Amino acid sequence: MPPPSSPSPVASPGGADAVAPPLPPHLPDPRQSPADFPIAAPLNAPESDIARDLDVVRQLFEAWLSNFPHEGNPIGENAEITAALMGANSLGFALVPRGHRALNENGELCDRWGTPFRFHQLSGKRMEVRSAGPDRRFGTDDDALLTPP
């Protein structure tokens, strides 16, 4: 998988190289192909459902742990965890591409209704994930929850 996009030098009028600003996370990087991200590809697919989406998120964390076995799950708020999954980590290893349909303009991984997932660290290697469901409000009967074994 390609490393995360980093600023690239661009020619400036004065002849010195300037650094292009990084792309916002919700915009695609033309250097990345969706085929390079097979685990994330089905997340929030129109023909799928929230149970499948949560299973995809589970697989993302499993892939993370297999590549970072001594670090445990990424930590922080949604945007920080998502940034790590997009390559802001010690290896520059990305599991989620820039511009993925599940990303909002704040760089947060969202459920299929556009609400950012809530991540709750149960242990260094167990992450609970909650979707607010179709009503987009947490703590109601339509919430969906992934609690790993």
**pLDDT one-digit tens code per residue, 126-139:** 999 999 999 999 99
Residue 50 predicted with pLDDT over 70: yes
In a domain, 73, yes or no: yes
Which pLDDT score, from 0 to 100, does residue 63 have?
96
In a domain, 96, yes or no: yes
Q: Report yes or no: 78 and 119 within 8 Å, Cβ to Cβ.
A: yes
Closest C-alpha to 32, from 59, 5, 8, 61:
5
Residue 16 predicted with pLDDT over 70: no
Interacting residues of 64 by C-beta distance below 8 A, sequence separation 6+: 73, 74, 84, 85, 95
Residue 83 to residue 93: CA distance in whole angstroms = 11
Domain with residue 115: its CATH number is 3.30.700
In a domain, 4, yes or no: no
Report DSSP state, residue 109.
B
Could you tell me the residue range of the domain that residue 50 belongs to? 9-146
Q: Copy the structure tokens of residue 74.
A: 């990424």
**Cα–Cα separations (whole angstroms), residue 107 to 9, 143, 148:** 24, 22, 24
Coil, strand or helix at 118? strand
In a domain, 36, yes or no: yes
Number of Cβ atoms within 10 Å of the Cβ of 77: 12
Which pLDDT score, from 0 to 100, does residue 19 have?
55
Residue 85 predicted with pLDDT over 80: yes
Number of domains, the chain: 1
Which range has the worst mean pLDDT, 32-36, 111-115, 118-122?
Answer: 32-36
Report the share of the chain in percent with pLDDT over 70.
77
In a domain, 70, yes or no: yes
Confidence of residue 33 (pLDDT cuts 50, 70, 90): low
Residue 58 predicted with pLDDT over 50: yes
Residue 100 to residue 3: CA distance in whole angstroms = 15
Confidence of residue 18 (pLDDT cuts 50, 70, 90): low
In a domain, 128, yes or no: yes
Coil, strand or helix at 125? coil
Residue 82 to residue 75: CA distance in whole angstroms = 10
